[in-house]
Amino acid sequence: MGHNSAKMKHAQLLARLLFTCGLVVIHGQATETAFPDELEAEYDYIVVGAGSAGCVVAGRLSEDRGVTVLLVEAGGDDRGNPFITVPAFASLNFRTDNDWQYFTEPQPGVMKGFVNGRSYWPRGKVLGGTGSINGMQITRGSRHDFDRWARYVRDNSWDYNHVLPYFKKMEDMLVPELRNSDYHGKGGPVPVSITEPLPIVDRLLEAGRDTGYTVNPDYNGATQEGISRPQVNVKFGQRWSTSRAYIHPALNRTNLHVSLNSTVTKVQIDGDRTTGIVFIRNGKETEVKARHEVILSAGTVGSPQILMLSGVGPKEHLEALKIQVKRDLPVGYNLQDHLFFEVGIKINQSLTLNRHYRTDPANIIKYVINGTGPLASPPYQALAFKSLSNNSSFPPELQLEFPVLLPGTSDGTLGYTPEILAEMKKRDSAQYGLMCNPTLIRPKSRGRITLRSDDPFDKPIIYANYLSDKDDIDVLIQGIRECEKIVNTSTMQAIGAELTDDTPVSQCSRFTFRSREYMECLVKLRPCSDYHPVGTCKMGPRDDPTAVVDSQLRVHGVRGLRVVDASIMPDIVSGNLQASVIMIAEKVVDLIIKTLN
């Protein structure tokens, strides 16, 4: 509580300072468009959840002025909020009212390095959803991911060649050398850029080359493999979420209504037909009917929760909670997430950010006047993908992420225990540094989400089941070795690079330092979620007993109900989720329009 209070005071100070400097003016986000106080009794389409998918669905459907659309969001407005707009402030939204603040359940033998043995999962609770508080990375995943989906669901429209046009449709590529690429789009709603690099970035690319990585100018192009500068949804030095790209420009449409601070408690299902939704708004229960469809875009946690509260889910689980079963489906299973491990690196030159860069007056003035400088960029400024199997028919198993800031032990965002933070004290002596975070991007472990009770305001139970498959542990260990190779290159040694967490940790002292057993103990002690949960409303053919939705994302056996978000992924994509979620939404809107016509 003390840390969160201090964090909020720090954030409020920043807000006052930025507003005083005139940041609201350069935001260019008008807030005069009001949301309706009164809603219609019935709409053609109701979209539940205004996140990265829901904003796309509502915005695109409302382009047809003959169609009425209601977008329902549990959180508030994102407009005029500098913590959402300013890229460097992304993590200041964590553990605030803009965040659902989920936690996983404790796991035997895993995650003992976190308070209460739980992993913190930030999820956006605001217009724009998690896309309003995330790291703004645009990483599509590997072409092999989508080809594998297509084979699994027995629908070629999900293969890479068929989804590529939707990646291009969403995109306005701003990088000059990529603008005319066959892999990228121009003029779409979502701007994609490469932000101003810090001096450390060139060193990282050179060190990656020294370690055997190809410097890849476009990991969203012909191949993912190599080390690159990241592509991000940033324009004019500002976050460009799907709320800003698809909803803000549509708020003057009379056929689109947006209901904020509205918590959906259930989807109304009559027999095998969806009729509408029930939600709490301003303390009052409201029911709205849907003429055509209800589209759940509440995310990998929210969508299965709402389905189960509505009677769609595993029969035994729902009956145990005395929820009337409308459809027995494996909702909540197939949970997957990317895990990473923090590798701290100290350097002796001012090539990275320092810990006070957000409050540095020079940085604030540069941002306010020009929209440039460190505040205009997310802290992730390099990334690499590597296939460990050397088999070109499979996507990379490993991603290295390089935040160009070494957080001190007072940061507290991840939720390490005091004992773990004490082991990391060497970080505090570094004025400059960075992280190399090896990330498991094709996990084999699977978890599950269940209801805690039949109360819609009770957060669901998240069984992450991290590292239950030994292969996942092996990949993270190999990833740590990859980071060490980069640190040991002559390029990095020339700037004094050294590992900050390079001494034996007491919790694993029973094993020989750096042995396979020691590394496994270390990885199990403090694996970090990359906040990329997927899979809990799995897409698959009707005869698949593990599937919840079909290849058009219609809930099996329930007419007029779709799920459109990361929860439908049969397998997680090999990279950050945002771009793939937008693609899914763009693709399904086309399917909906075809059925309407």
Active site residues: 532
Q: Which amino acid is at 90?
A: A
Alpha carbon distance 95, 270 (integer Å)? 38
Selection from 460, 448, 457, 456 nearest residue 332 by Cα:
448
What number of H helices and E strands is found in the chain?
16, 25
Which residue in 34, 10, 109, 137 sits closest to 411, CA to CA?
Answer: 10
- Cα separation, 172 vs 494, in Å, equals 39
Question: Residue 436: enclosing H or E segment and its boundaries?
Answer: strand 432-440
Per-residue burial over 408-417, b = 16 or more CB atoms within 10 Å of its CB, e = otherwise: bbebbebbbb
3-state secondary structure of 307: helix
Which residues have CB under 8 Å from 28's CB, separation 6+?
236
- Euclidean distance between CA atoms 442 and 224, whole angstroms: 14
Q: Which three-class secondary structure state does DSSP give residue 302?
A: helix
Helix axis angle, 2-20 to 361-370, nearest 10° = 50
Q: Which of 351, 312, 346 is nearest to 328 (CA)?
A: 312
DSSP assignment letter at 72: E
Non-local CB neighbours of 38 within 8 Å, separated by 6+ positions = none
Half-sphere exposure of 591 (CA within 13 A, CB side): 21
CA nearest neighbour of 431 among 361, 519, 528, 500 = 500
> Can you point out the beta strands (E) in 297-419?
312-313, 327-328, 339-340, 343-347, 380-386, 398-403
User: Burial level of 512, CB count in 10 A (0-12/13-18/19+)?
Assistant: exposed
Q: Please, what sign has the CA dihedral across residues 109, 111, 114, 117?
A: negative
What is the dihedral sign for C-alpha 64, 588, 549, 139?
negative
> What does the alpha-carbon distance between residue 495 and residue 501 come to, in Å, rounded to a whole number?
18
| 492, 207 Cβ separation under 8 angstroms | yes
In 3D space, the residue among 276, 342, 356, 359 whose CA is nearest the CA of residue 501 turns out to be 342
DSSP summary character for residue 76: B
Q: Please classify residue 596 by burial: count the beta carbons closer than 10 Å to its beta carbon, then call 0-12 exposed, 13-18 middle and 19+ buried.
A: middle
CA distance 245 to 579: 13
Strands, E assignment, 337-406: 339-340, 343-347, 380-386, 398-403
In terms of DSSP H, where are the helices of 69-112? Answer: 82-85
